Structure formats: structure tokens, C-alpha cells
Structure 1
Amino acid sequence: MPLTGHCLCKAVTYSADVDQPALVAYDHCDDCQRQSGSTYSLVAVVPKAKLTLNGPVKKWTGYGSSGKAVHRLFCSECGSPIAHDPDAAPEIIALKAGTLDTEIKKTLQPDTEIWTVSKLPFCQEHLAKPFEHMPQ
């Protein structure tokens, strides 16, 4: 069963032809904190080739610590963040897990934390696989 989701206004929809994400992670990087307006962004990583995205998507490009571009995709109508697409890992895309369909996101099991170097000190959750930056 594919992973499906949509933005807040439902103008953007997507489907990833995978049964499960390759990784579900708390992303503590400063950019994800700012994009989400929260302490971290929960991401579900899938192969980019398996993702079909429909609707009015806009893109903002910044740069990660690798010096390579990170493209942040969002709905041009409601502004919901949909994914980030790092040039440093061109085979994957990190879906913003909060945009997954409700029944799908209820089954997620976060197993990793990334960018813990930027983790805010009051976040006390600890997972088995913390990485100070992206997994090496």
C-alpha cells in the first residue's frame, strides 16, 4: 500500500510507491525548526523515484552544511511544507510526516534523530540512533 498525503488545503497531494518509509526521523536542524515553526520536523524518507507529487508546489532553495542545495517544497496555496530534497543525497526525499494521511501517520515509528547538534536543550526524547548531523 503506498504512502499518501496532502497539504492543509488539499491542493497538493502525493503518493510514494513504498510500503514503509526507509527512515522515520526527528530532524533537529535549524532550517527544519524554522520551516516547521517547531522544535524539530518529523520526516519520512522515501526514494525520490517512488514519489509522485501533484498540485501547485513552490520551491525554496537553501544550502546545507555540505554546501549543496536543499530544496524545500511547499504548497503555493496554503504554505504547508511538503518535503525537503537534498542535493547531497539525490536518491531520497524527506516527506514532512505530518502531511501523511492520518491513518498512515498514526502507524509511524520514529527510529532516528538527525542533526542532534542543533537539538534544543529542552527536548528530552532520545532514540536509539542519534546522529549529530545526517547519517554518515
Structure 2
Amino acid sequence: MHEAHSHAEPRLNGCPWHDVNEMLQSVGLRPTRQRMALGWLLFGKGDRHLTAEMLYEEASQAKVPVSLATVYNTLNQLTDVGLLRQVSVDGTKTYFDTNVSAHQHFYLENNHELIDIPNAELELKATPDVPEGYEIARVDVVVRLRKKG
């Protein structure tokens, strides 16, 4: 169940800064200095799962002057336009995934880490009937793991 987006998914190649600019413009977001810097941190390192706090910490270390509120706003804007996928682990932890393809996750409870489950390893046999006028947008499965012993 892959979400359909009205925009063509831009491919990251060449200079990441240029790619982030194109990516933002392709979904109608103005490439402000803060969006550019946060996008560069988010998308310049391959597929990642980050909380707002983790990205804020990275931004601080990279000397990017942003508030935590700006980080949250930017992550939500990028999610709304389909560049990020939001994965809720429990009531208190929300991760933002740079891989928006259909896939599921392991959550490593001991170190609070979210990692991808390869698609072939999880099979959903059936989905429930949905109320009239609704359709399933996507199914999120989070398999929680903890160290033995």
C-alpha cells in the first residue's frame, strides 16, 4: 500500500544542498534557510529515523540556529507534503522516517531505536472492513524488541 503523491519523487544526486532546494520546491515549500539546513541534516545521510529532539540536537551540534518548535513545525510540514513518514512508537515517542515507501519497523526498547523490517519478512494476511466512506491509507506495524535476559 504505497501512498500516491501528486509530485514526482525527486532523486537525491549531486550536491545535497541543491537536492534539498529542489525537493522543497517540488512540493511547494519555500526553501527558507531553516528548512534548507534541517532538510540537509535529515536527507543527507540516507534513510533515517529521527525524533524532533534528535534532529534538534544534530542542528545544535551543526551550529544551526533553530528552536525546538521550528524543528517540530518543519518535520510536520515535511510529513504533510509526503517527504517524511511519521511513526508513533507509543504515546510519547514519534519518529520521522526519511523512507516514505511501504515498510514496517522493529523498535529496540533498550536503546529507543527504530529500524526497518525488510518488506519480505512481514506478511499481512488480511485487513479489517472499514466504515463506509473510508479507505485504508497505510498500515503501520511496530514490532517491539528487547534484549534477552
- TM-score computed with the length of structure 2 as normaliser: 0.26
Bigger Rg, structure 1 or 2: 2
Higher relative contact order (CA 8 A, sep 6+): 1
- TM-score computed with the length of structure 1 as normaliser: 0.27
Whose helix fraction is larger, Structure 1's or Structure 2's? 2
